[in-house]
A and B are shown apart, each in its own frame.
Chain A
Amino acid sequence: MRPLRALPLLPPLVALALLLALWELAARALHIPAYLLPPPSAVALAGWADAGPLLSAAAFTARAALTGFALSAVLGVLVAVALASSRILERALYPYTVFLQTVPIIAVAPLLVLWFGAGFRAIAVSALIVSVFPVIANTLSGLRSVDPALRDLFRLYGATRAATLLKLELPSAIPSIVTGLRVAAGLAVIGTIVGEFVAGYAEDAAGLGITVMAANRQLRTDLLFAAVIAASLLGLAIFGVVNLAGHLLLRRWHPSEKG
């Protein structure tokens, strides 16, 4: 199967083309109304016709999602470091970080509007709440699974707490942190869209979530699909950047990035 190895992208692209063709044919042959399921060609045309507004909406959503993601990365790692520093602290607080994962964000979002006002800040915080837990959980497990012999070694050579954290624990946890960030990347976009549903009606905030709601009200299902695809591509792009950064960080020493 040499051609497959040479073109790793070929199989998924062929699958996509077949799926789109099938969808196009089905939508036309079965006369499915466009407001229920527009054919891909109509989605593409709508995306092209509304490219300007879609792009500016995507730019807003990207800004909010990246802000929430960056907050997640920084706060998630900091919280994990704090929890890892003491068993008591971990036992006291970890259950409440799980709460972050289970909280129904759509129900809490109105609260965020009350606290942060409608618009960018509430939306970014929504992205943060949805995406921070995997960063905390993965970082914590990375910090906890440091090679015990290396801990002994640091102890034997009289390493300070700070040196142990910076030179042993955090570097050891990088593979786990990257895993957490990969999950957080997609979740941040989801949190942003949900945040926009509730808090995105401010004048300065017109992201893809707003596009989706407006298109839905106008039964412009073709535009709705285009916006959904744009949001997915955005999540994919952030994921890709995290993957690339992880690869660059780990390729020299971690087995997951070898070969």
Chain B
Amino acid sequence: MPALATHPAPAEPAPSAPSNGGVRVRVRGVRRTFAGGVRALDGIDLDIAPGEFVALLGPSGCGKSTLLRLVAGLDRADAGSVEVDGAGSAGGIPLAAFVFQDAHLLPWRTVLTNVALPLELRGVPEAARLAEARAAIEQVGLTDAVDRRPAELSGGMRMRASLARALVTRPRLLMLDEPFAALDELTRQRLDDQLRALWLARGMTVLFVTHSITEAAYLADRALVFSPRPARVVADRRVDLPRERGPRTRTDGAFVRETRALFDALEQGGA
């Protein structure tokens, strides 16, 4: 829908979010208590429409990462249900990808073979998976570094390689757990832009965990604001900004209004 780019029209309502490549995520009454009695989640409900870009915003340690891990199938809930595309959690299902807080690349592999890893694990033949990996690497602008190893990359480049590794499977659900939190501000904004552009191009469902209000407002079309532990959804806000966003968006009056609204929601939630 590139036509929208020329019309920085006021934000669209919920149902018109791009839905071609995404999957639905439904969470019902999910509870998770860790050994030692720490209650991370105590009855959470979520409804994410296919193709939505949703920021999960909350104070550090509130349990939002736990929620993401449950959706990914990396952890199991004590009670409640998680449905991705009508089935169980996303673990092992070829439609999901996960980006961690740090890049977590295999240090003995080059960027190219790191990015190709998910396809390798699924048995895609070498020529095909390397071609896909090169395409994904190009999309994150890392072509110059294909043959380098992680130790030879900057933090931002490592994170982009990690993003390419997530994209290489053409996921219909992309989960990111504070992925750019450790990067400097400029690099982070550049990666935010890249991620947003990739989402516009592919239309997958994105769940983006962050504790940064500005990042949530800038990236997402919908922000779920969480309270401190055990996490509850204290606000479910549609981010009222144009689909196409850029450096100017950050100084826009509407952007300031959105960040203030999210800030207030966080405050009211007790953060």
Contact = CB atoms under 8 A, between A and B. Distances in A.
Contacts of A171: 106, 108
Interface in A146-200: 147, 149-150, 152-159, 163, 167-168, 171, 174
Contact of B121 (A147, A152, A159, A255): A159
Interface string B90-110: 111010111010101011100
Contact of B104 (A150, A158, A163, A254): A150
A96 interface: no
A254 B107 contact: yes
Contacts of A253: 107-108, 149-151
Interface string B38-56: 0000000000000000000
Contacts of A255: 151
Interface string B144-155: 000001110000
A152 B102 CA distance: 13
Contacts of B90: 156
Nearest to A250: B108
Nearest to A252: B149
Contacts of B97: 156
Contacts of B128: none
A155 B92 CA distance: 7
Interface residues of B, number: 26
Given A163-B121, A252-B149, A253-B151, A153 B98 contact: yes
A149 B106 contact: no
A30 to B, nearest CB: 56
Interface centre among A174, A253, A255 (most CB of B within 10 A): A253
Interface string B221-248: 0000000000000000000000000000
**A contact residues, range:** 20 to 34
B106 A155 contact: no
B72 interface: yes
Contact of A252 (B69, B96, B106, B108): B108
Interface in B140-171: 149-151, 169
Contacts of A157: 92, 117-118, 121-122, 169
Interface string B110-133: 000000011011100000000000
B181 interface: no
15 contacts: A147-B104, A149-B100, A149-B104, A150-B106, A152-B69, A152-B98, A155-B74, A156-B72, A156-B90, A156-B91, A156-B97, A157-B117, A158-B92, A168-B106, A252-B108
Interface of A: 147, 149-150, 152-159, 163, 167-168, 171, 174, 252-255, 258
Q: Which 6 pairs from chain A and chain B are nearest by CB?
A: A253-B107, A158-B92, A149-B104, A157-B121, A159-B121, A157-B118
Interface of B: 69, 72-74, 90-92, 94, 96-98, 100, 102, 104, 106-108, 117-118, 120-122, 149-151, 169
